[in-house]
Amino acid sequence: MSQAASKNSKVKTFVGCLLAATFFWLMTALNKDNYSLRLDYPIHFQFDESQFIPVQPLPKTVSVNVSGDGWNLLRKSWLTFVESPVEYKVINPLKASVINSTSLTDQIAEHFPDVKVNYIIADTFELGFERKISRIIPVRVDSLSIDLRPGFVISSLINVSPSLISVEGPASEVSNFPDTIRVQVPASKIQNNYDENLSMNIPYLPLVEVSHSSVFVSFEVARLLRPLPVTTAKK
């Protein structure tokens, strides 16, 4: 056997021994108890979504400290993302301001029968709900602001489609919407029949759903054949 081949054989033997020693050490370590681990566990909040709306984001996961033997903790750390989320029921959303960490710990413990759930990492999570309301609001064109070329008049009804929109969201935000939404016609010196999609310029509110952001406005325009009579007030 050459010197190079002998050297390669010694290296392979050393690497094999090192891997075997590492494997046996890992097996022994994983069989021991009293390891602790932080896990992010999925959580789902139950509440009447037709009546209430969260005004701040609800957490998707909850961090918990668990302890147990190495094998169970290793398995949990790999499989947590496919576990069924713990269902946390919000009994009275308008009065609920924090998550009950004790109750949540007990619920999560039911999902970890082979390890010990010690505590929730964060003592509390803030909650905030409002009653969800909806309104139907009429849409009208601000006809007095329409700029026509001199000698021209609107000769038909001003059509708006849709003429009603729905707004849904937290009561505090939906209540601030006006009773009527007024749409401005931006064109100037209009002398022909008009038909355009116009934005209602409704401010974006992430928690408010608005059925439409624009409306179709149309009306006919005619040229006067004679000046409109000037009326004078009677004395």
pLDDT, one tens digit per residue, over 155-210 is: 999 999 999 999 999 999 999 999 999 999 999 999 999 999 999 999 999 999 99
- What's phi and psi for 101, nearest 5 deg? -65, -30
Rounded Cα–Cα distance for residues 116 and 69 (Å): 10
Residue bearing tokens 């000046």 = 227
- 167 close to 209: Cβ distance less than 8 angstroms: yes
Rounded Cα–Cα distance for residues 156 and 145 (Å): 16
Rounded Cα–Cα distance for residues 194 and 185 (Å): 10
Predicted confidence at residue 72, as pLDDT, reads: 54
Rounded Cα–Cα distance for residues 57 and 207 (Å): 10
Q: In Å, how far are 52, 167, 174, 181 from 133, measured between CA atoms? A: 8, 8, 7, 18
- 83 close to 110: Cβ distance less than 8 angstroms: no
Q: Could you give the percent of the chain with pLDDT greater than 70?
A: 71
Predicted confidence at residue 71, as pLDDT, reads: 53
Output the six-digit token pair for 202.
């409704």
* Mean pLDDT confidence for 146-159: 95
* Mean pLDDT confidence for 6-21: 48
- 227 close to 153: Cβ distance less than 8 angstroms: no
- 205 close to 163: Cβ distance less than 8 angstroms: no
pLDDT digits 0-9 by tens, 77-136: 555 545 678 889 998 999 988 888 788 888 877 777 666 777 777 655 789 999 999 999
pLDDT digits 0-9 by tens, 33-75: 566 677 778 889 999 999 999 998 888 888 877 776 655 555 5
> Residue 39, Cα to own-chain centre: how many angstroms?
24
Q: In Å, how far are 46, 52, 100, 205, 210 from 91, measured between CA atoms? A: 9, 12, 11, 27, 28
